[in-house]
């Protein structure tokens, strides 16, 4: 999907959403479907979905060595921000979180023990509670 088409769809979604259920209820729905979602809030949701402080790999970071929780968070936020840019250049996914899940926690990858399919649902759960 071209960027101009994406923004037209986003705008029309916002107009319909505001008309049907009001501005405040729409803000979270629109942000979750776009790359406008706050990176810090999303990192918090990923941290919780990955097991929080008790996780073997903080923020689910496995491919890069990190020194501590702050370093793992920085890597997570870099991943979020880099994938926002990639999301806007692609046309396979209409939902940013689905796109991010395909990169951050792909289903059926080498290290998937059957739990990666729950990542997106879990991240959305924690986003709603943020």
> In tens digits, what is the pLDDT along the chain, a chain of 130 residues?
555 565 566 566 656 655 665 555 455 454 555 678 999 999 999 999 999 999 999 999 999 999 999 999 999 999 999 999 999 999 999 999 999 999 999 999 988 898 999 999 999 999 999 8
Do residues 43 and 55 lie in contact, with contact meaning Cβ atoms separated by under 8 Å?
no
Report the b/e string of 16-28 with b at 16+ CB within 10 A. Answer: ebeeeeeeeebee
Beta strands in 52-108 (DSSP E): none
């Amino acid at each position: 999907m071209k960027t101009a088409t994406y923004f037209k769809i986003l705008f029309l979604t916002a107009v319909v959403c505001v008309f049907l259920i009001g501005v405040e209820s729409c803000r979270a729905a629109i942000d979750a479907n776009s790359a406008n979602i706050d990176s810090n809030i999303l990192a918090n949701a990923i941290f919780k979905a990955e097991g929080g402080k008790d996780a073997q790999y903080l923020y689910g970071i496995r491919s890069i060595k990190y020194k501590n929780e702050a370093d793992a968070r920085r890597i997570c936020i870099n991943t979020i921000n880099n994938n926002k840019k990639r999301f806007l250049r692609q046309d396979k996914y209409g939902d940013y979180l689905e796109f991010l899940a395909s990169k951050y926690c792909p289903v059926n990858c080498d290290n998937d023990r059957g739990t990666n399919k729950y990542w997106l649902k879990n991240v959305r759960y924690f986003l709603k509670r943020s």
